[in-house]
Chains A and B, each alone.
Chain A
Amino acid sequence: MTTMQERSDLLDKIGLAEQNKAALGQVLGTGSIGYAAETSDGTMRATIRIHPDELTWDPSILVMPHGGDIELELVNDDLNTHCALLPSNGDRKFIWLVNHSRGRATLNLDGPGYYWYCSPTGNDEGRGLTGAIVVLGEAPPEARLDRPEQPRP
């Protein structure tokens, strides 16, 4: 049986979570995980960074407690230019992130479910700059089926 600790050790041992070690880039879904903070008015906020030469988002999995609006600060600490294409209801949001830059994005997302975002330049997406935004929660009561509670996996 594989435990979370074993998984982390294996990622380090094999080099799956780093650039140009095991694979050419960092394998999707192997990066860090972070929570969005929620303010009293229900707005969510988070900062996402690109560290030097990592070609990955930190966090690469951002968790929102529920659907709604989220304000992101996007920081590129890398020595190369990247960008961000982010999911949002209405249209996807795009921003250039030149070396050592900091920008902002406001997204509106439904919950529950998860969404990918990326840096759509060159093959940043394949090298590791593909991240996920996970939205927790349930469908609103008025949308749920009129039936007894059902088993889930």
Chain B
Amino acid sequence: MSVDYVDAGEAVDQGLLSGKVAGGEVAPPVVAGLDYERILNARREPHNWLTYYGAYNGQRYSPLDQINTDSVKRVVPAWVFQAGTTGLIAGASTYSFEAAPIVVDGVMFVSGWDGWVWALDAKTGVEIWRYKHAVPFDVSLCCGNVNRGVAVAQGKVFTVTPNARLLALDATTGKRVWDKTYGDVRAGESATLAPLVVKNMVVVGSSGGEFGVRGHLDAFDLASGEHQWRCYTVPKPGEPGSETWPADGEAWARGGANCWVTGTFDPETNLLYVGTGNPAPDFDGGVREGDNLFTDCVIAVDVDSGQIRWHYQCTPHDVWDYDSIAECILFERDGRKLLGHFDKNGYFFVLDRTNGARVGITPFVDRITWGAITRDGRVTAKAYPDKEGEPVHFYPGPAGAKEWTHAAYSPKSELFYVPVQDTGATATRRRREFKESIPYWGAGVQVDIEDMAGSVSAFDADGDEKWRWRNELPMCASVLATGGDLVFAGEPSGEFNALDARTGQMLWQFQCGSGHHSSPTTYTVDDRQYVAVPVGWGGWAEGFLPGMLGAGHGSALIVFALPDWS
């Protein structure tokens, strides 16, 4: 006797089973009126954090001062958002919570690992909506299942996915508006950065420098998603810069130079300032003789055309994995338009951002043995893996004296604050042939698990160190500077610290339960200042701190405030 099946119905969105009340899944239209002019003047809205760095200048500075050197000792957690993880996900052992939370008029937009984006009530932490992109389990990820944040404008939230898609979501509902593929996952490309909205465009870069791809930036129309331009960061034969690659063969086609960290923008020069990644293969320079432009460069890109206007190469012919993807912090001094850039190679570069002219070069970490750069810009390599099978030890290791995590600049103190990683590594060259989607390092690499140090160091624009807050472990998270004369900095061991911006003295600390590898931001709702920090150790920990590979991952967004602010 047959028995009819029970009708199980239609599968529903998992987010519906998360305790939401009817109507609670729609955010107020706070992004509808967010246009280019407002983003251009983002710091005139100190209650908001409108773009990745807080403003186009990349300073990661907020003038908010309710939490200050006097009041910070009373700061407590206001709310915690925990996403957790279910099912099998790509990079299950390497996911990390790396984002910089965006806040617009009381609504927070934040991305997680594995294709997550959330809209949260910035006052209570209650989830309003979620978007989950389905991420292939087998996608190529050099360094972990991570995402560094979203961009918002014109009613939309923009995010990239590990399988190299750019999505535009409706900021009120989280529903997809448009979806563009801008990388080839079969070639080993992926995407991890926070998009940058400029004018009517959203600009993104590709990841995949460890897989022998050809780096590029892409711009898309905000409204339609129509592709506007692509800027390759390794020239084809015959193009400017191609003379820095071997004339024969296809080294250029696998050359790397990925722009995997968000750029900055100056509306007066109309230039994007973007750091480019390492050449490929990372450690085997013998297959790519020459300076290998535009790898390891600060490039200035005309935002309307996508053309490179000037470049400055920080590590010519890199064989240490010294991406120059670090932020380019825009600032002015004596009427001169400058940018500051703390490079993985251990040097702090100050450039004239109108033309790329060198203004200053100063080491910002104690141990630099790979080579030396003199103040006139001359680069001399000293220790490098050029002999097959012969181990070579060097400082800084391949994660750099500072990885992607960001420095900050306070226009109030006129100081830069940089998280420093003082760790070495050993590379042994092992040549291999190139195959698409297979890691293309050209060496075996082991990062030191002993004899390491870290700091938050304060420098002026001349490169003079003004103070140093020392830590036993390298500092692997972005810092945040505020008008309250504070510098917030998270430790790999979980502590979240507030330092006095003028002296480096620690004024407050909270143990968050997992290591920091993200970008904290600050905002106000109803006149109460909050400091938000995603906490979730992971990413390329074997690169920047293998001694903490066994630490718990975590996946919490913790938001702090004063208990009595009114």
B44 within 8 A of A: no
| Chain A nearest Cβ from B4, distance in angstroms | 9
| Chain B nearest Cβ from A36, distance in angstroms | 15
Within 8 A of B (CB), among A96-153: 96-110, 112-118, 120, 125, 130, 132, 135, 138-140, 142-148, 150-153
B288 within 8 A of A: no
Q: Are A145 and B187 in contact (CB under 8 A)?
A: yes
Q: Are B137 and A143 in contact (CB under 8 A)?
A: no
Which among B87, B181, B189 is the interface contact of A120 at CB below 8 angstroms? Answer: B87
B232 within 8 A of A: yes
B contact residues around A115 at 8 Å (CB): 134-137
| Chain B nearest Cβ from A138, distance in angstroms | 6
In the bound complex, CA of A118 to CA of B434 (Å) = 36
B15, B88, B134, most chain A CB atoms within 10 A: B134
B538 within 8 A of A: no
A contact residues around B86 at 8 Å (CB): 85, 120
| A91-B131, A113-B138, A146-B236 known; A104 vs B5 contact (CB < 8 Å) | no
B contact residues around A76 at 8 Å (CB): 8
B contact residues around A86 at 8 Å (CB): 11
Q: Are B5 and A101 in contact (CB under 8 A)?
A: yes
B contact residues around A85 at 8 Å (CB): 14, 86-87
Q: Are A102 and B5 in contact (CB under 8 A)?
A: yes
B contact residues around A84 at 8 Å (CB): 11
| A89-B176, A143-B182 known; A101 vs B6 contact (CB < 8 Å) | yes
* Binary interface encoding of chain A residues 21-45 relative to chain B, with 1 for a CB under 8 A from any of its CBs, else 0: 0000000000000000000000000
| A90-B132, A115-B134, A146-B232 known; A139 vs B181 contact (CB < 8 Å) | yes
A contact residues around B319 at 8 Å (CB): none
A19 within 8 A of B: no
Q: Which residue of A lies closest to B17 (CB)?
A: A94
In the bound complex, CA of A112 to CA of B187 (Å) = 11
In the bound complex, CA of A147 to CA of B257 (Å) = 15
Which among A75, A100, A116, A148 is the interface contact of B250 at CB below 8 angstroms? Answer: A148
* Binary interface encoding of chain B residues 241-253 relative to chain A, with 1 for a CB under 8 A from any of its CBs, else 0: 0000000001001
| A87-B134, A110-B165 known; A125 vs B436 contact (CB < 8 Å) | no
**What total of chain B residues lie within 8 Å of the partner, measured CB to CB?**
56
Q: Are B12 and A110 in contact (CB under 8 A)?
A: no
B contact residues around A10 at 8 Å (CB): none
In the bound complex, CA of A91 to CA of B118 (Å) = 11
Which among A75, A89, A104, A117 is the interface contact of B9 at CB below 8 angstroms? Answer: A104
| Chain A nearest Cβ from B175, distance in angstroms | 7
Q: Are A104 and B186 in contact (CB under 8 A)?
A: no
Q: Are A114 and B136 in contact (CB under 8 A)?
A: yes
B contact residues around A146 at 8 Å (CB): 214, 232, 236
B148 within 8 A of A: no
| A105-B11, A145-B184, A146-B232 known; A110 vs B163 contact (CB < 8 Å) | yes
Within 8 A of A (CB), among B310-364: none
In the bound complex, CA of A133 to CA of B128 (Å) = 30
Within 8 A of A (CB), among B1-55: 3, 5-15, 17
Q: Are A110 and B134 in contact (CB under 8 A)?
A: yes
A74 within 8 A of B: yes
B435 within 8 A of A: yes
Which among B132, B135, B185 is the interface contact of A139 at CB below 8 angstroms? Answer: B185
| Chain B nearest Cβ from A92, distance in angstroms | 4
A contact residues around B137 at 8 Å (CB): 113-116, 132
| A90-B176, A147-B214 known; A98 vs B6 contact (CB < 8 Å) | yes
Q: Are B9 and A95 in contact (CB under 8 A)?
A: yes
Within 8 A of A (CB), among B244-283: 250, 253-254
B contact residues around A7 at 8 Å (CB): none
Within 8 A of B (CB), among A34-92: 74-76, 84-92
Q: Which residue of A lies closest to B88 (CB)?
A: A116
Q: Are A113 and B163 in contact (CB under 8 A)?
A: yes
| A120-B86, A143-B183, A144-B184 known; A103 vs B8 contact (CB < 8 Å) | yes
Q: Which residue of A lies closest to B164 (CB)?
A: A143
A contact residues around B17 at 8 Å (CB): 94
A contact residues around B176 at 8 Å (CB): 89-90
| Chain A nearest Cβ from B181, distance in angstroms | 4
Q: Are A95 and B132 in contact (CB under 8 A)?
A: no
| A90-B176, A151-B436 known; A112 vs B10 contact (CB < 8 Å) | no
B133 within 8 A of A: yes
Q: Are A90 and B175 in contact (CB under 8 A)?
A: yes
| Chain B nearest Cβ from A116, distance in angstroms | 4
In the bound complex, CA of A75 to CA of B7 (Å) = 10
| A115-B137, A139-B186 known; A101 vs B250 contact (CB < 8 Å) | no
B457 within 8 A of A: no
Ordered by A's residue number, 30 sampled pairs between the chains whose C-beta atoms are within 8 Å are: A74-B8, A85-B14, A89-B133, A90-B13, A93-B11, A93-B14, A94-B12, A99-B6, A100-B6, A101-B5, A101-B7, A102-B5, A104-B9, A110-B136, A112-B136, A112-B186, A114-B136, A114-B137, A116-B88, A117-B87, A125-B88, A132-B137, A139-B183, A143-B182, A146-B214, A150-B250, A150-B435, A151-B433, A152-B186, A152-B436
Additional 19 contacts, C-beta under 8 A, given A100-B3, A130-B88 = A74-B11, A91-B13, A91-B132, A92-B87, A92-B134, A93-B11, A94-B13, A94-B14, A95-B8, A101-B7, A104-B9, A109-B134, A120-B87, A143-B184, A147-B253, A148-B253, A150-B187, A151-B433, A153-B436
A-B interface, 5 closest residue pairs, ranked by CB to CB distance from nearest: A113-B136, A103-B8, A105-B11, A93-B11, A147-B253
